[in-house]
């Protein structure tokens, strides 16, 4: 049964291919819906696929996703940060996704290079390798040597890679629309928003000039990290579809036989990789969001090298500091710091049940503390944070989730080399740093300066804001609706607030007058180098402050007791 139509043949061809692959792996029920029931049954009978029953459903989904192409693989990896959408068994399978290896001739690479750069290969390179040494879904990377003597790596975007990706995105949006009812029943209310977010990230891969700029940023940000190497960009030969960088002799981080022959051991390689990646992310905020075995390389001297910077993300200074606090809190089992950091990092969200939120955070911290080194510590942590975020409706920024997922991917790579490594060991320096910073005078000074600055801004802007409100009231543009159910209780609350304000104003007047007397007192009688009247004023202000605090606490307890009585 053909699905082709002259109206939009590309999308329908892609849909036809997708349905065939789903049937091949026996996962048609996952794509079931009224619009396609008849088509699926008809094609299944005609094609006569035999499903491999030795594989479970999640393994078959992974294999089908790989066969669907690079866009499907990237989308699956993107969804790994959404445990509210995918079951954990499927996420674990998606971590093992790989791009299909397809042939790409040197002649095609030469043709694309010459057409894109207007440079002749013969007049530019003394050597150009016949085969690519790195492959991903949308590009191939070849080794070459410039006539000037530099060894270079040439990354080339595949022909029609952009067009195919756009077609795949359109197909995803069409499927999201057709299966919107099915997805809503599964708790996914905004599939188009998810696809749009994925599209925004994916489209960045098709502009290699952006990747070149990211490499330059890495070179500047990571220059203090001795175990990490950033290749140099040859801007003269780089375009939107061509990226030429320095080539370094290296192997994939998972190629143990090769780096063992260089005299390196598993522990050193995994430790160097984790240390450089974590310190780079937490100290600079710049990190590669999607790690793969082929893109992470090890040099003969043990240094780490990345070949792919297309998924580079940047944390703001505030986000980076809060993530540092989060990983530090894990090592010290400080659930309070972790809870506060999560609340601050999602500043637009309101936590309605803060006690339950803190309990969930405490359970996560305690659970991680007892994990063994062979377990996926960071994966459990990132999943735990995501579950807490979705349960309490916390809008954590996407780049923060990406950072947690990237750390989890880094842990997976390290565990594939050294099963006994523990990523939490590399967080301990940040735990010690956090404890020292919380006791440092500089921290108190910064907090005091920040609070005084905020208070100054408030005093400066309040008259203007009040003036705007008064003008709106005079023009009749401001209205309100006040519904008082207990008028006597309302009056009592106003009386309490008024008393507190009078106390506060009296205390402020005492402090200000005592300060003025101390400044302009001259040779008046002093006690402990402080004028007597100033000392009396400060003492009275202190006494009234204590009374005000006790009064406020007593009022609060009485209100809570009244509310509890009313609820009972």
To the nearest whole number, what is the mean pLDDT of the chain? 78
Tens of pLDDT along the chain (568 residues) come to 333 333 455 666 677 777 777 777 777 544 444 444 455 545 544 555 555 667 777 888 888 888 888 888 888 888 876 666 777 778 778 877 877 777 788 899 999 999 999 999 999 999 999 888 888 788 889 999 999 999 999 999 988 888 888 888 888 888 787 777 767 776 666 788 888 888 888 888 888 999 999 999 999 999 888 899 999 999 999 999 999 999 999 888 888 888 888 888 888 899 999 999 998 998 889 998 888 777 888 999 999 998 888 888 888 888 888 888 888 887 777 888 888 888 887 766 677 788 888 888 888 888 877 765 556 778 788 878 878 887 887 777 878 888 888 888 888 888 888 888 888 788 877 766 655 665 566 666 666 676 667 666 666 666 777 777 777 777 766 666 666 666 676 677 777 777 778 878 878 888 877 777 776 666 666 666 677 777 787 788 888 888 777 777 766 556 555 554 554 4
Q: pLDDT digit string (tens) for 304-325?
A: 998 888 888 888 888 888 888 8
pLDDT score for 125 = 93
Q: Where are the domains of the chain?
A: 101-247, 251-439, 442-480, 487-568
Under 8 Å between Cβ of 332 and 434? yes
Structure tokens at 116: 């894109």
Structure tokens at 564: 């509890």
CA–CA distance, 323 with 283 (Å, rounded to integer): 11
CA–CA distance, 270 with 277 (Å, rounded to integer): 11
| Ramachandran category for residue 220: left, alpha or beta (phi over 0 → left; psi -120 to 50 → alpha) | alpha
CA–CA distance, 65 with 213 (Å, rounded to integer): 31
pTM of the model: 0.67
Q: pLDDT digit string (tens) for 16-46?
A: 777 777 777 777 544 444 444 455 545 544 5
Under 8 Å between Cβ of 308 and 140? no
């Amino acid at each position: 049964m053909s699905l082709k139509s002259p109206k939009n043949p590309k999308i329908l061809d892609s849909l036809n291919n997708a349905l065939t692959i789903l049937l091949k792996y026996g996962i048609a029920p996952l794509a079931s819906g009224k619009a396609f029931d008849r088509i699926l049954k008809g094609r299944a009978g005609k094609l006569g696929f035999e499903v491999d029953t030795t594989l479970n459903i999640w393994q078959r989904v992974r294999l089908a996703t790989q066969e669907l192409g690079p866009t499907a693989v990237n989308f699956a990896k993107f969804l790994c940060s959404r445990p509210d959408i995918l079951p954990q068994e499927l996420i674990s399978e998606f971590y093992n996704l790989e791009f299909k290896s397809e042939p790409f001739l040197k002649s095609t690479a030469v043709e694309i290079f010459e057409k894109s750069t207007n440079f002749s290969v013969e007049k530019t390179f003394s050597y150009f390798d016949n085969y690519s040494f790195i492959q991903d879904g949308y590009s191939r990377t070849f080794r070459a040597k410039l006539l000037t003597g530099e060894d270079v790596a040439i990354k080339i975007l595949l022909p029609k890679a952009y067009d195919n990706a756009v077609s795949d995105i359109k197909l995803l949006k069409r499927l999201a629309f057709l299966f919107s009812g099915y997805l809503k029943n599964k708790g996914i209310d905004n599939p188009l928003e998810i696809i749009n977010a994925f599209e925004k990230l994916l489209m960045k891969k098709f502009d290699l000039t952006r990747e070149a700029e990211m490499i330059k940023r890495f070179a500047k940000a990571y220059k203090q990290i001795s175990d990490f190497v950033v290749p140099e960009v040859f801007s003269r030969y780089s375009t939107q579809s061509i990226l030429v960088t320095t080539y370094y002799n290296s192997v994939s981080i998972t190629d143990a036989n090769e780096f063992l022959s260089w005299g390196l051991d598993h522990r050193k390689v995994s430790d160097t990789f984790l240390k450089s990646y974590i310190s780079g992310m937490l100290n600079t905020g710049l990190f590669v969001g999607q790690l793969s075995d082929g893109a992470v390389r090890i040099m003969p001297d043990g240094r780490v090298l990345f070949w792919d910077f297309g998924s580079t993300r940047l944390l703001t200074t505030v986000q980076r500091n809060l993530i540092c606090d989060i990983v530090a809190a894990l090592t010290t089992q400080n659930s309070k710091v972790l809870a506060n950091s999560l609340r601050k990092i999602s500043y637009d969200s309101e936590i309605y049940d803060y006690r339950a939120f803190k309990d969930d955070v405490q359970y996560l911290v305690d659970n991680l503390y007892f994990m063994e080194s062979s377990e996926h510590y960071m994966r459990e942590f990132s999943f735990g944070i995501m579950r807490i975020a979705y349960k309490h409706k916390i809008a954590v920024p996407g780049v923060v989730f990406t950072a947690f997922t990237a750390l989890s991917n880094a842990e997976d790579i390290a565990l594939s080399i050294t099963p006994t490594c523990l990523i939490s060991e590399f967080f301990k320096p940040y735990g010690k740093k956090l404890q020292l910073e919380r006791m440092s005078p500089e921290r108190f000074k910064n907090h005091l300066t920040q609070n005084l600055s905020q208070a100054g801004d408030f005093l400066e802007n309040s008259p203007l804001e009040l003036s705007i409100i008064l003008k709106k009231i005079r023009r009749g543009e401001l209205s309100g609706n006040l519904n008082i159910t207990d008028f006597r209780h309302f009056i009592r609350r106003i009386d309490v607030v008024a008393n507190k304000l009078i106390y506060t104003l009296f205390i402020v007047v005492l402090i200000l007058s005592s300060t003025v007397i101390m400044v302009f007192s001259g040779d008046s009688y002093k006690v402990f180098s402080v004028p007597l009247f100033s000392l009396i004023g400060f003492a009275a202000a202190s006494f009234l402050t204590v009374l005000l605090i006790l009064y406020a606490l007593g009022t609060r307890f009485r209100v809570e007791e009244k509310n509890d009585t009313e609820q009972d």
